[in-house]
Structure 1
Amino acid sequence: MKRRLGLSVYPDNSDFNKDKEYLDLAAKYGFSRIFMSMLEVKDGKEAVFNKFKNIIGYAKEIGFEVILDIAPNIFDALEISYDDLSFFSEVGADGIRLDVAFDSNKEAMLSFNPYNLIIELNMSNDVAYLNNILTYQPNKPFIYGCHNFYPQDGSALPLDFFTSCSERFKKEGIRTAAFINSQVGTFGPWDINDGLPTVEIHRKLPVEVQAKHLFATGLIDDVIIGNAYASEEELKALSEVNRYQTVFKVELVDDINDVEKEILFKNQHFRRGDITSQMIRSTEVRKKYKEKDNNPHDNELMFKRGDIVIGNDKFGKYKNELQIVLEDHKDNRKNKVGKIIDDELILLDYVKPWSKFKFNE
C-alpha cells in the first residue's frame, strides 16, 4: 500500500485564503490527503455548505483526498441522518470520519453508501471494533482507519498502546493514518493546543522524526500533520522523508576517511538475517570494499548505542563491514565513523532481520 503525507484544515477556525495558501504549499511538497474538521454550525446549513464546498473544491482541484471529521452533533445541527450522506457528497468530500461507534452492522452498511464515500473509523481504542464490523461484510476498500490526536500535553497514546491498536487494523489490510505535531502550528479544533500528535513521545520531536517513526513501525500508511499551520521548512523536511525504509541522520567524526564515507552513504544497507543483539550488521559492503585499506582511527573508545562503526585493517575478513552499535562495547578493530542523532535512536528498534536502511549526513 502506498504511503502518503497529509495535513489538517479547520475552516471553522481559519481563513479561506490562508487555507488556500497552505494547501498550495503542501501540494508543492507532495502532500495528498486532508483531514478537515467540521465542528459547528453557527451560521446555518447553507453557510456551512458553501464554506466547506469552497475549500474542499479547491483542495480537490489540486489533487487532495479530503476526509471530513464529523462530530455527532453536526448531524442534528444540519438536520441530516447517518442514513443519508448526500450532504457530504455534495460538499465534495471523499469520505467522513466517524468519531463515534455504532453497532458494527451500521458501519458496514454505511460503507455501501451510494456516493462511494470512504468511512473512516477511529483507531485509538484497543477493542474488537473493526473485527465486529468485518463480520458484517462491509465494503472493505471503502473502510479506512485513523487515530485520534490529543491537544493536552501528556494526554496522547503511549507507544505500546498505539502499537496494539494499530496492529488490529493493519493485519486486516485496512489503510491506516495517525497524526504528528508541527512545532510551529498554533491551532486546531479546540482552544487548548499543546500540539496535536497521536503518540505522546512525538509531541516535542521534529516533524520528520515523528514521520520516520510512524513509517518505521510498518503500521501507518498516512502521516498527517494535526495542527495548523506547519512551516514550509517542516513541509519540505517531511517531503524528503523516505516512506519505505529508514534513513538515519548521522553526525560524522572528524577523522572519517573517503572509503568509510562511501561505504556509509553510497550503499543500500540491510541487516543480516541471523541477527545479534550487540549490533546491526551490514555485511555486503565488506565484500565490495575488501581490497580497500582502512587505517585505524577512533577505535579505542567505548562504543555506545547508535554509534556507527566500520571494521579497520586489523579486522581481517571483517574489514569494512558496517555496524550500528546496540549494546555498549569496546573493540579496537572497529573505527567509529559517526553516530545516529539522539532523536532518531528510537528508530533502531524497528531494524529487523533483513530490514533495509540508509544514512544521511
Structure 2
Amino acid sequence: MYKKNIGISIYPEFSTLEKHIEYLKKASDYGYNQLFMSFLHLSKEEVKNNLSNFKKIIKQAKKLKFYVCVDISTQTLDVLKENIYELKIFKNMDVDCLRIDTPLLPVQLSIITHKVGIDIQINASIDDSFAQNLLDFKPIKHKISACHNFYPQQLTGLSEEFFNRTSKKYYDMGIKVSAFVGSHHGIYGPQKTQVLELPTMEKHRNMSISAQAKELWASGYITDILIGNEFATDEELKELAEVTRDTIEFEVPKIDISNIEHKILFKDLHFRRGDASEYMIRSPLTRALNKGQIIEPRNNDKESLNFGDVVIVNKNDEHYQTELMIIIKDNTPNINKKFNYLFTINKEELSLINKIEDSTWFKFSPKNN
C-alpha cells in the first residue's frame, strides 16, 4: 500500500551538534529518509536550552530530504506558548509531522490537518477507539499516520500478539503504521540515563537489527521502521538499509552445495504452493525452471528433518527433482533419501517461516561475513 522507509532518531540534548549532523548525513548516504525527534520528555529549561540545536538539525535534515516527525504533548505546547491551531514554531522549522502522545480531542487533530497542514501521528501502541473517533471527524486522511512506542525498560516491550492486533487495527483503517527497532550500541534515548536498545517488541531486544526489521515488515502491517536509540553504528545502519522490505528473505550461512543447488537457492523465484502441507513449504517454480537438471543425492544426508531445514529434492524422486522445500514439522522423514539438506534457517529468522502464507513469495541471500 505504501512505500517502505527507514529512519533514525536524534536527541539534541545529548552529544554535540556536529556529531548529530554527521550521523544524519551518514544515515542519508545509506538511504534513510525519516527522522524522529522528541520534545515530549524535555523540561521547560531543557526545551529552552536545546531549541536552537533542534532547529539546526531539522534544517539540515530537510536539506537531505528527510521527513521529520517531532513527538510533542500538550505540555510541550504550553512550554512553547504555542497555539494548537497555529503551531507556528513547528511550521517555521519545516516539521512535517507531529506525533501527539497525550490526549487532544479527535476533532482538534482533524482541524489541524485542515487548518495548519502539518501531518498528525497517533500512538499505535494503544488499543482504544481514538483512531476511529478521529476518522469520524473527517481529517485529511493521508495526513494521519500511527507509530508504535519504543520501550527502554527490559521486559516492558509489546508482546507479538498485542503488536499484531493493534497494528492490524490501524492498517485495516487505512492508516500507515510505523515501529521501532533497537541499536545494540546507541546509548541515547529520551530518558536521562544511558540505555541500549529501544525496540517496539520485547522479543526483538536482543535480536540483530536486520532480524528485528525483517519480522516487522513480514507482519504485513508496518511501513516505516526507525532506529529508536542514537547512535547506531555504521554496521547497523548498513545492515538495516540492506534488508529486503517487500519480500521475506532468509540469510544463508556459507554452505558447500552443487552449482545447480546454488542456482535454485539463490537465483530462482520462490513462493509457497496454495495447497499447503503440514510438513513442508513447497516452492514449485524451481521444478519448472530447472527441467532436465540432475540433483545427485548425498550419501550422508539426514534421515530425519526438523523445522527450519531447507532441502532440495534429488534424483531419488525423479518427478519432483529440483523442488525446494522448507520443513515445518519436526521429525519429518527423509523418505528414500530424496531430500538433499542444504542448511537450517537461523534461530532469529525461524519466526519468519510462519509468515509464509499460501502463495507468499520468499527468497534467500548469502550471509555477509
TM bucket (normalised to shorter chain) is: over 0.9
Task: Give the CA deviation at 1:82.
Answer: 1.9
Specify the alignment match of 2:29 in structure 1.
28
Specify the alignment match of 1:354 in structure 2.
359
Task: Give the CA deviation at 1:128.
Answer: 1.9
| CA distance, structure 2, for counterparts of residue 156 and residue 45 of structure 1 | 28
> Is the Cα contact below 8 Å between 1:70 and 1:98 reproduced in 2?
yes
Give the letter for the 1:25 counterpart. K
Q: Secondary structure at the match of 1:221?
A: strand
* Alignment CA distance shift 1:126-1:319 (3 Å): same
Task: Give the CA deviation at 1:81.
Answer: 2.8
Q: Secondary structure at the match of 1:267?
A: coil
Return the TM-score normalized by structure 1. Answer: 0.95
| CA distance, structure 1, for counterparts of residue 15 and residue 106 of structure 2 | 34
Task: Give the CA deviation at 1:253.
Answer: 4.5
Q: Secondary structure at the match of 1:5?
A: strand
Task: Give the CA deviation at 1:259.
Answer: 1.0
> Is the Cα contact below 8 Å between 1:130 and 1:168 reproduced in 2?
no
Q: Deviations over 1:105-157 (max 9, x none)?
A: 2222222233x211000110111221111111111011011011110000110
Q: Deviations over 1:294-341 (max 9, x none)?
A: 111253332111110000111121111000011021112111011211
> Is the Cα contact below 8 Å between 2:113 and 2:140 reproduced in 1?
yes
Task: Give the CA deviation at 1:42.
Answer: 4.7
Specify the alignment match of 1:340 in structure 2.
345
Specify the alignment match of 1:209 in structure 2.
211
Specify the alignment match of 2:89 in structure 1.
87
Q: Deviations over 1:54-112 (max 9, x none)?
A: 11000100110100011332112112232221111112211110001233222222222
The question of 1:148 aligning with 2:183 is answered no
> Is the Cα contact below 8 Å between 2:85 and 2:111 reproduced in 1?
no
Any residues of structure 2 matched to 1:48-197 within 5 Å, and which?
A: 48-114=50-116, 116-192=117-193, 193-197=195-199
Return 5+ residue gaps in structure 1 as ranges.
none
Give the letter for the 1:77 counterpart. V
Give the letter for the 2:354 counterpart. D
Specify the alignment match of 2:318 in structure 1.
316
Give the letter for the 1:330 counterpart. P
Return 5+ residue gaps in structure 2 as ranges.
none
Specify the alignment match of 1:226 in structure 2.
228
> Is the Cα contact below 8 Å between 1:153 and 1:195 reproduced in 2?
no
Q: Deviations over 1:155-196 (max 9, x none)?
A: 110000011111111112212110000011111010342421
Specify the alignment match of 2:7 in structure 1.
6
Q: Secondary structure at the match of 1:215?
A: helix
Give the letter for the 2:266 counterpart. F
| CA distance, structure 1, for counterparts of residue 192 and residue 280 of structure 2 | 46
Q: Which moved more, 1:204-213 or 1:330-339?
A: 330-339
Q: Secondary structure at the match of 1:170?
A: helix
Give the letter for the 1:278 counterpart. Y
| CA distance, structure 1, for counterparts of residue 85 and residue 46 of structure 2 | 21
| CA distance, structure 2, for counterparts of residue 9 and residue 108 of structure 1 | 28
Q: Secondary structure at the match of 1:13?
A: coil
Q: Between Structure 1 and Structure 2, how many residues are aligned?
A: 359
Specify the alignment match of 1:267 in structure 2.
268
Give the letter for the 1:269 counterpart. H
Specify the alignment match of 1:37 in structure 2.
38
Task: Give the CA deviation at 1:47.
Answer: 5.3
Q: Secondary structure at the match of 1:11?
A: coil
Q: Deviations over 1:222-253 (max 9, x none)?
A: 00000000000011111111100011002354
> Is the Cα contact below 8 Å between 1:278 and 1:327 reproduced in 2?
yes
Specify the alignment match of 2:244 in structure 1.
242
Give the letter for the 2:33 counterpart. S
> Is the Cα contact below 8 Å between 2:150 and 2:157 reproduced in 1?
yes
| CA distance, structure 2, for counterparts of residue 350 and residue 129 of structure 1 | 29
Q: Secondary structure at the match of 1:281?
A: strand
Return the TM-score normalized by structure 2. Answer: 0.93
| Backbone CA RMSD of aligned residues | 1.6
Task: Give the CA deviation at 1:291.
Answer: 0.9
Give the letter for the 1:4 counterpart. N
Any residues of structure 2 matched to 1:237-316 within 5 Å, and which?
A: 237-251=239-253, 253-254=255-256, 256-297=257-298, 298-316=300-318
| CA distance, structure 1, for counterparts of residue 6 and residue 358 of structure 2 | 27
> Is the Cα contact below 8 Å between 2:269 and 2:286 reproduced in 1?
no
